[in-house]
Every structure is written in C-alpha cells, then in structure tokens.
C-alpha cells in the first residue's frame, strides 16, 4: 500500500494534463485545482487502494467525471411522456411563449417594475397585475407572493395572530412535501380549532365554535385527495354568512387556480377563484403554476381592507414574488383576458387536445420507428395536487423488449431525456403530455434506443 501511495502523482502533474488544462479554461483553474486536490486526498485516505486507481490516466478520467457531477448543466429539459400534466417533479406547468418572452424581457434589462413612466416617480409593482386579477375574479384587490404556502402563512399571520382559526376536521391536511396546515397555524401564531368529523361537517359546527377569540374561518380545498361516500361540507355562501355576522374574515384556499370550467373537458368541477369571491369569501388564494398555467406564485384576492392589511405585514416583503415570475404571471393572465387559453397555455392545449389528433401522432411516430412498438389507448392525469382521481383519454407508445426498468433508464438518460411510465411490465410514452413540436426529437431518440 505504501508503494501505491508513493506512486500517486502530484497535483501539478495532473493539472498539466491537456484534458485538465482544457477543463480549467472552461471552468476556472482555481476550481479545477480544488477538485484535483480533493480527489487525490480521497485516494490517500482510501482503504484497499488499487494500483490502477493511483495511475494518472485513472485520476484524470475521474476528475473529468467529477467535474460533470459537481458542476452539471441544470435543470435539463426533458420530454414528459408520463401522462401527468402537472408533474411536480418535472416543474409543473410549462409556460406559454408569451410568458417566456415576458420573463426574458424582465431578466435581460431594466424595466418599469416599480416606476410610473408618466410621473417619473416610484409606483407599486403589483398595480397592473392586481387590476387583471380583480377583473378575472371579481375581487376588490389582490396581492401576489412567491407560492401558496407563503400566501397562507402571510394571511393567517396578518389576520389571525394570537387568535383562533376554525377549520373543518377533514381539511386539517398535508398538502405535499410535509407541509401541514396545523403546522402553518402554529407558525402564524394562531390556534387551530377543528370542527365536525372527518367526513361530515355542518354549519352549526362552525357556529358552536365561534368565541370572542375567533379571528377567522379557514376553508381548504381537498386538492390532492377525495373524501367520498357519506360526506357533507357547508357551502361557501353559508360560511360567509357566519363570518359576516361575527365580523371575521372567511379565508378560502381553492388550491389549483382553475379559472376555466374543467367540466367542458369531461373533468369534475373544481373550485374557481371567481366562484369563491362571488359566494362571499373575504380572502381567496390559489396557485399560479397549477391549473392557472403560469409560473410558481401564491395569489391572494379579496376585499380591499383585508388585502391592505396583509400587504402591510412585514412578512409580505420577505416572501414577495420576483420580477421574472411576476412578468410571466402577468402574461399568463393576459391570455385569460384575451380568451385564448386553449391556444396559448400548454397545459390547456394538452387538456383540450382531441383523441383523433393524439392517435394520428402516435401512428406517425410508430411508422418511423425501426422496431416493434405499438399504440395503446390509455389515460392521462392532471397531477400537481389538482383534480385528484380525474383521468383524460389518451394514446401512448407501448415499448417491449428490454426489461421495463432497463428501458426506462435508457430513455431518461438519453441525449434528450424521455420520462415514461411502466404499466404491466411495459414502458408507455403518453403523447398527451408531449407537445407535437417534440415528435421529431422523440422519433430520433427512440430509433437510437429501441431499434432492433
């Protein structure tokens, strides 16, 4: 072992290798030298070090490999063939071209983000987007923060700190990533008062729970699960009456931000912000990157007095939305104003696509693949904590041959990574979640991977 250790080359000899010199020009000599030192030190401390591992060639190859793993290109675009439209692990909603263009404009230069061009004085950064949100939802005022978790925390902290918040027992939920509503209440300084049972809660349960210390009624939409069978929940209009009578706000988290009517596409109804406001919610909040089809954002709409109070809380500054996402959200909302959602917003293009167009695409793709693949009728899902259990008829490319896990690995590690799903030991690539513009790329990659 001592002989092997003595034969480990020096840092200077490794960084003088032509391949490492080229890496130093691409990255920086300081960082590459750091990586070389780090690897050489790991070799010196390694038990059972082999003579091959201590050779210069092996060390150079390992350093090049480490550089790719430590300083990778990220994130890498992938082709979503999973059939999950709002795939959280893949970034949820892809943006429209207009939203992308708006993001680039906001990022690449200066803008009138907080400037009134007519007066030359500082202006509110959210005035324009608030006006649009008010028009779309019927609210008096609006505020946008970085996500709905922070929107809920901000709202409860500013309106209910030190008091009690009433919520149905069925809605004291975990909404993903370990984010639990009871924990949010604790952080906001409010006390959670659960009423009703897991499956049935009545108006009188809320009335009985009202006390002098009640600061709000909170309604959480079950966005990532369903309670079915023997169930009951009061209407928003009924809870609004209770809130008004007791001069406390009714806060309604509708989850996905679905402004369009999903029943048009054979899906179940989803609570919409405009319906919530019309039914009497004082505050309604929802996501920007789910069924709205925009960037990550937490949108709060409602009565001006409450929005003003929320906006002035110190926490609002800490969790405000950045200029790039704000620009993308603004452009996304304009699509709703122009009534062009199906034509411009990718997730609604997917949801509204026809079975015939999916089948024709599948047939065209299969005709250009030099291997045994087939077309299968299947189902796509919404995903992303929206419309749980809902399915959309779709078509997928079915691939057999290699074991499903091996083939799935080859697909997602290809030059243009393809995310698939496995069903009944077969690999499926669902076309609903793949834009037609990527068909040629898909064909090229499949011909490399599955050709006999």
What is the b/e burial string over 199-219, where b = at least 16 CB atoms within 10 angstroms of the residue's CB? Answer: eebbeebbeebbeeebbbbbb
Integer angstrom CA distances of residue 141 from 126, 242, 452: 10, 22, 61
Domain boundary among 341, 370, 391: 341
Q: Are residues 320 and 363 in the same domain?
A: no
Give pLDDT, residue 387. 81
Q: Are residues 353 and 337 in the same domain?
A: no
**Domain region containing 34:** 2-70
**pLDDT surpassing 90 at residue 389:** no
Q: Are residues 141 and 209 in the same domain?
A: yes
Q: Are residues 108 and 204 in the same domain?
A: yes
Q: Are residues 61 and 109 in the same domain?
A: no
CATH number of the domain that 281 lies in? 3.40.640.10
Phi, psi angle pair for 271, to nearest 5°: -60, 130
* pTM, rounded to two decimals: 0.90
Q: Are residues 193 and 291 in the same domain?
A: yes
Give pLDDT, residue 174. 65
pLDDT per residue as tens digits for the range 352-362? 999 999 999 99
pLDDT per residue as tens digits for the range 391-428? 999 999 999 766 888 999 999 999 999 999 999 888 99
Domain boundary among 310, 341, 372: 341
Tell me, letter by letter, the H, E, C secondary structure of 235-271.
Answer: CHHHHHHHHHHCCCCEEEEEECCCCCCHHHHCCCCCC
Domain boundary among 322, 341, 360: 341
Cα–Cα distance, 55 to 307 (Å, whole number) = 66
Give pLDDT, residue 349. 97
Q: Are residues 223 and 332 in the same domain?
A: yes
Domain count of the fold of the chain: 3
pLDDT per residue as tens digits for the range 119-160? 999 988 999 999 999 999 999 999 999 999 899 999 999 999
Q: Are residues 305 and 414 in the same domain?
A: no
Cα–Cα distance, 224 to 199 (Å, whole number) = 16
pLDDT per residue as tens digits for the range 172-190? 766 665 667 777 777 888 8
Q: Are residues 138 and 244 in the same domain?
A: yes
DSSP state of 320: B
Q: Are residues 325 and 432 in the same domain?
A: no
Cα–Cα distance, 402 to 385 (Å, whole number) = 33
Q: Are residues 409 and 323 in the same domain?
A: no
pLDDT per residue as tens digits for the range 258-283? 999 999 999 988 999 999 999 999 99
Q: Are residues 411 and 314 in the same domain?
A: no
Integer angstrom CA distances of residue 396 from 92, 364, 380, 448: 20, 12, 9, 19
CATH number of the domain that 389 lies in? 3.90.1150.180
């Amino acid at each position: 072992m001592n002989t092997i250790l003595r034969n480990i080359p020096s840092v200077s000899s490794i960084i003088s290798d032509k391949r490492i010199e080229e890496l130093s020009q691409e990255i920086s000599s300081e960082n590459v030298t750091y990586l070389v030192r780090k690897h050489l030190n790991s070799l010196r401390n390694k038990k059972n070090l082999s003579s091959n591992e201590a050779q210069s060639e092996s060390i150079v190859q390992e350093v090049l490999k480490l550089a790719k793993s430590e300083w990778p290109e990220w994130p890498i675009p992938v082709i979503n063939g999973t059939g999950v439209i709002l795939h959280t692990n893949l970034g949820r909603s892809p943006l429209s071209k207009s939203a992308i263009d708006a993001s680039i404009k906001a990022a690449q230069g200066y803008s009138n983000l907080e400037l009134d061009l007519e007066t030359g004085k500082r202006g509110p950064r959210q005035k324009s987007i608030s006006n649009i949100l008010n028009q779309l939802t019927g609210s008096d005022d609006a505020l946008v923060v970085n996500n709905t978790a922070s929107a809920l925390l901000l709202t409860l902290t500013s309106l209910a700190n030190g008091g009690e918040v009433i919520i149905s027992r069925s809605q004291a939920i975990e909404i993903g990533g370990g984010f639990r509503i009871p924990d949010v209440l604790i952080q906001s300084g409010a006390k959670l008062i659960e009423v009703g049972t897991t499956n049935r809660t009545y108006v009188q349960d809320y009335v009985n729970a009202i006390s002098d210390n009640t600061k709000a009624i909170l309604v959480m939409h079950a966005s990532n699960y369903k309670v079915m069978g023997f169930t009951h929940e009061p209407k928003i209009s009924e809870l609004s009456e209770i809130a008004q009578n007791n001069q406390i706000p009714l806060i309604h988290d509708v989850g996905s931000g679905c402004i369009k009517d999903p029943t048009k596409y054979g899906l179940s109804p989803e609570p919409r912000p405009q319906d919530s406001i019309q039914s009497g919610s004082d505050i309604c909040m929802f996501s920007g990157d789910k069924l709205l089809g925009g960037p990550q954002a937490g949108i709060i709409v409602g009565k001006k007095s409450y929005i003003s109070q929320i906006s002035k809380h110190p926490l609002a500054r800490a969790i405000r939305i950045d200029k790039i996402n704000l620009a993308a959200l603004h452009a996304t909302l304009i699509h709703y104003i122009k009534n062009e959602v199906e034509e411009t917003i990718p997730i609604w293009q997917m949801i509204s696509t026809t079975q015939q167009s999916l089948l024709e695409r599948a047939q065209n793709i299969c005709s250009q693949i030099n291997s045994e693949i087939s077309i299968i009728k299947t189902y796509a899902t919404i995903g992303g904590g929206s419309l749980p259990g809902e399915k959309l008829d779709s078509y997928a490319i079915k691939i057999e041959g290699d074991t499903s896990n091996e083939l799935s690995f080859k697909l997602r590690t290809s030059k243009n990574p393809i995310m698939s799903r496995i069903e009944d030991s077969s690999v499926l690539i669902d076309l609903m979640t793949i834009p037609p513009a990527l068909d040629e790329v898909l064909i090229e990659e499949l011909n490399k991977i599955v050709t006999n």
